[in-house]
Amino acid sequence: MSWEPTQFDATPPASLEPPTPPRPHWLRRLLGPVAGAALLVWKLAGPVLIAIKNIKFLALGLSFAASVAAYSLFWGWRFALGVVLLIFVHEMGHVFQLRHEGVPSTAPLFIPFLGAVVGMKELPKNAWVEAKVGLAGPILGSIGAAACFALGWQLDSQLLRAVAYLGFLINLFNLIPVVPLDGGRAAAALHPAFWILGLAALAGRFYWRPNPLLVLVAAVAVYELYRRWKERATPESVAYHTIPWSQRVTVAAVYLSLVAVLVVAVDLSHVARPA
């Protein structure tokens, strides 16, 4: 490739008088102030928009750090960090699926001793989408826990195996078929009877090992079950839950397979909690 120098005309102009500039078109005169105002607004709003985005990341970071600090009081910071990271992986499964479905959502927000939440800015279009969003968290969370378990096995690290165990257990707990848990989202594509079974499972879990968290989950589950049951005959609810049988079978197969895999994984990865 060759480059040729640009040719410049060095001939001086015939007259040193500057030419009279043409009058601007009326459209330019009209749009000029508008464009200037728009540029000013953008310059002022740009930093605000960036600040809002930074606030979201700040809330994520602060809530993450608060959860690690809270769990560290009981488990030590290394174990706490590993568990919170696995919770983050779980929540990102929901975020990725929500974005794939075109449903606007918030970034994960961690709540010490309660896990984390991802807010949906609008409802999914039907129960099939809700089920996929609900199952995406435990699927990705289980993959993360499996990676942690494999690394712990390779490095002979009891700490990593213990983190993986709790990660498997968290994902399994989330598959109890009651809303607000992920299993309840999947049950929306199956049958309301699954929600009743989920309440029975929560009651049995509380009887076996009482925990205030279970009471909170059960209270939300009862309210959600009552609300959905009351609205079951409305046209909106009927349309929302009317999906092809092929989709119901797919949700049931994925849900039951995931439960079975996690039960085995919890048993295989169970180790004493490290000091």
pLDDT at 6 over 50: no
The pTM for the full model equals 0.76
**For 87-92, what is the mean pLDDT?**
96
Question: Which among 202, 152, 216 is positioned nearest to 173, based on CA atoms?
Answer: 202
Q: What is the distance between the alpha carbons of residues 243 and 239, in angstroms, rounded to a whole number? A: 8
Q: Are 90 and 146 in contact (CB under 8 A)?
A: no
* Cα 22 to the center of its chain, rounded Å: 58
Residue 170's identity, in one-letter code, is I
pLDDT surpassing 90 at residue 259: yes
Contact predicate 141/181, CB 8 Å: no
**pLDDT, position 228:** 84
Residue 43's pLDDT is 46
The DSSP bridge pattern shows strands 115-117 and 109-111 to be: antiparallel
Across the chain, mean pLDDT equals 81
Determine the average pLDDT of the residues in 67-78.
91
- Specify whether the CB–CB gap between 202 and 218 falls below 8 A: yes
User: pLDDT, tens digit, for every residue of 163-190?
Assistant: 999 999 999 999 999 988 999 999 989 8
Query: How do residues 107-141 score in pLDDT, each as one tens digit?
Result: 888 988 888 888 888 888 899 999 999 999 999 99
Residue 273 phi, psi dihedral angles, 5° rounding: -65, 135
Length of the chain: 275
Buried b (16+ CB within 10 A) or exposed e, 12-42: eeeeeeeeeeeeeeeeeeeeeeeeeeeeeee
Angle 227-228-233 from CA coordinates, rounded to 5°: 115
Burial of 197 by CB count in 10 Å (0-12 exposed, 13-18 middle, 19+ buried)? middle
Q: Choose the most confident range, by mean pLDDT, from 34-43, 102-111, 156-165.
A: 156-165
- Report whether 71 contacts 83 (CB < 8 A): yes
Residue predicted with more confidence, 224 or 7: 224
What burial class does residue 236 get, using C-beta atoms within 10 Å of its C-beta: 0-12 exposed, 13-18 middle, 19+ buried? Answer: exposed
pLDDT at residue 139, rounded to an integer: 97
d(CA 261, CA 142): 9
